[in-house]
Chains A and B, each alone.
Chain A
Amino acid sequence: MGRILRLLGPVALAMSLSAFAAMPGRTADLVIAMPNWSSGQATAHILKVAIDKQFGLEADAVEMGTLIAFAGLDSGKVDIHPEVWLPNLDNLVERYVTGAGSVAISPIGVPAWQGICATRNAADIYGIKDISDLSDPQKTAALDTDGDGRGEMWIGAQTWSSTGIERVRANSYGYAKQLTLLEMPEDVGMAAVDAAQATDKPLVFACYAPHAVFELHDIVRLTEPPYDPAKWNIVLPSDDPAWLSKSSATVAWDAAHYHIAYASSLRSRHPDLAAFLERVAFEPEEAIAMSYALQVERRDPQEFAEEWVSKNAERVEAWARP
């Protein structure tokens, strides 16, 4: 979820504008928009391989940002997007799916999660298991890395919208008093988890799933009161400079799902393919494994996809011809 919220930032938008300039000539039958994160890249290639196998259609997986991808789905330059996160991108869905009707969203979504994580020893040895434990200075003292008696905690990259919301949550729950909140690029946040694990040091950090970190390390998700819209009052920084003081959130993030999106015109051009895309379903554990294979094991996405489709031949066949 963090990564999609990140797409709403101006940097990601500016970067994604160049995507079409780099697109190859349209020799393939279809274009699949490929995200810049690993599970999306794996899914894009799995769809590419499966569509070739089941329908004999050649597809190009072309890396581009989500906003550009939606514009392409709308204009006919793009046929498929493998990972559209909701409710994060509700505004794009309203515009292109509900409004223009040029884009369709598969009803099947992969459940996603966002919250605060702890290393196994932070939970088991220092007793940090629930969000309320972060307000206990005796427990969070174990997270101190600079000798000031207060713990440190990474809450996300400066460019992510989710990072501001984590700051709101830290203020609302009260643990901002006990912890120094750190903002840094994701690679820095994740390398800190790697280093903490390598030396058996406790660490608490903002996280989201599916994510390779869950396959890489023994990570505990802190429990929280369930999402309640009445207790989730987020004012966006773009709407009010005083957003931080006007916002409050004392509950867990709302559940998110990500879905395949495709150009509605596929329903007439390739109705069997459109029906296939509405049946494709991945488990969250599979998405974590995909992230791990590409990001940690550095598998080639095309090779990984070929192997995945071959291993799951019956499932893929059932999506195509139920």
Chain B
Amino acid sequence: MVLGLSLLTGQAVAQTQVYDPKTRSWVDYDRTKAYQYYRQHQQVPEPFRRQVVTFRTAEEPGTIIIDGNQHFLYLVQPGQQAIRYGIGVGREGFGWAGIVRVGRTAEWPRWTPPAEMVARDPNARKWAGGQPGGPDNPLGARALYLYEGDQDTIYRIHGTPEPWTMGLSVSSGCIRMVNDDIIDLHSRVKVGAKVIVLMQGAALYKGV
């Protein structure tokens, strides 16, 4: 069993499910369970931990494939394998699907809240001029900035100070990973890497 039993007895209201390889079935997973689990184990459930998996694809090694529905990010490796990382995505999914690339990356990035967030959220207001990088910064340890051609899409893959949110759809649009994982991904990814965002999943697509 990949999840503690205590995690599975709650009400089944979450959209996220976690795959249990023993029973070969999907079990529900929500924010409360996620927080409890993380407090108990100091890490996310097994499916959302970084691991090498069999991944047969025609995509080149170095390509990133994001499955917002199942909350996985794959980094394609040689030999029909991939490194799979757990991710958290926006409440509405990623809000976008298609093919982009890593335009630039940053270590301990500065975060500037969008104007509408500054307007409604007092916590964000104090960082209206930008919050310096650090352990409390919502972007976490690293950020990969996704570009379409030479244009910044405003979407990022980034770390987080809230590691228990892996596997959930709670952030506001971007793809978040635990800091250890985004550091690992950042060390392996080259600027220019192809990023495929799947359209399957919660509101992941536009113009469909």
A88-104 interface (Cβ within 8 A of B): none
Q: Is the CB of B59 within 8 A of A182?
A: no
Interfacial residues, chain A to chain B (CB-CB below 8 A): 145-147, 152, 154, 180-185, 187-188, 190-192, 194-201, 203, 212-213, 216-217, 295-296, 298
Decide if B144 is an interface residue (CB 8 Å cutoff).
no
Knowing A145-B69, A180-B208, A182-B205 touch, does A187 contact B196 (C-beta < 8 A)? yes
Contacting residue for A192 out of B55, B93, B200, B208, CB 8 A = B200
Q: Is the CB of A195 within 8 A of B74?
A: yes
Cross-chain pairs A/B with CB under 8 angstroms, 27 sampled: A145-B69, A146-B69, A146-B200, A146-B201, A147-B202, A180-B208, A182-B200, A182-B208, A184-B98, A184-B205, A185-B99, A188-B199, A192-B199, A194-B59, A195-B70, A198-B53, A198-B54, A198-B55, A199-B70, A199-B72, A200-B19, A212-B58, A216-B56, A216-B57, A217-B56, A295-B58, A298-B60
B165-202 interface (Cβ within 8 A of A): 196-202
Knowing A191-B57, A195-B198 touch, does A184 contact B70 (C-beta < 8 A)? no
Contacting residue for A184 out of B24, B93, B97, CB 8 A = B97
Q: Is the CB of B200 within 8 A of A145?
A: yes
B58-102 interface (Cβ within 8 A of A): 58-60, 65, 67, 69-70, 72, 74, 82, 84, 93, 97-99
Q: Is the CB of A198 within 8 A of B74?
A: yes
Decide if B203 is an interface residue (CB 8 Å cutoff).
yes
Contacting residue for A152 out of B56, B93, B199, CB 8 A = B199
Bound-state CA distance A199–B53 (Å) is: 10
Which residues of chain A come closer than 8 Å to B65, judged between CB atoms? 191, 194-195
Interfacial residues, chain B to chain A (CB-CB below 8 A): 15, 19, 24, 53-60, 65, 67, 69-70, 72, 74, 82, 84, 93, 97-99, 196-205, 208
When C-beta atoms are compared, the residue in chain B nearest to A183 turns out to be B208
Bound-state CA distance A101–B59 (Å) is: 41
Classify the interface of chain A: helix, strand, loop or mixed: mixed
Return A120 CB to nearest CB of chain B, in Å: 13
Q: Is the CB of A200 within 8 A of B58?
A: no
Which residues of chain B come closer than 8 Å to A188, judged between CB atoms? 97-99, 196-199
Q: Is the CB of B82 within 8 A of A198?
A: yes
Return B58 CB to nearest CB of chain A, in Å: 5
Q: Is the CB of B60 within 8 A of A182?
A: no
Which residues of chain B come closer than 8 Å to A185, judged between CB atoms? 98-99
Contacting residue for B201 out of A145, A187, A198, A298, CB 8 A = A145
Bound-state CA distance A98–B70 (Å) is: 53
Return B7 CB to nearest CB of chain A, in Å: 19
Which residues of chain A come closer than 8 Å to B55, judged between CB atoms? 194, 198
Return B118 CB to nearest CB of chain A, in Å: 30
When C-beta atoms are compared, the residue in chain B nearest to A158 turns out to be B207
Which residues of chain A come closer than 8 Å to B97, judged between CB atoms? 184, 188
Which residues of chain B come closer than 8 Å to A199, judged between CB atoms? 19, 67, 70, 72
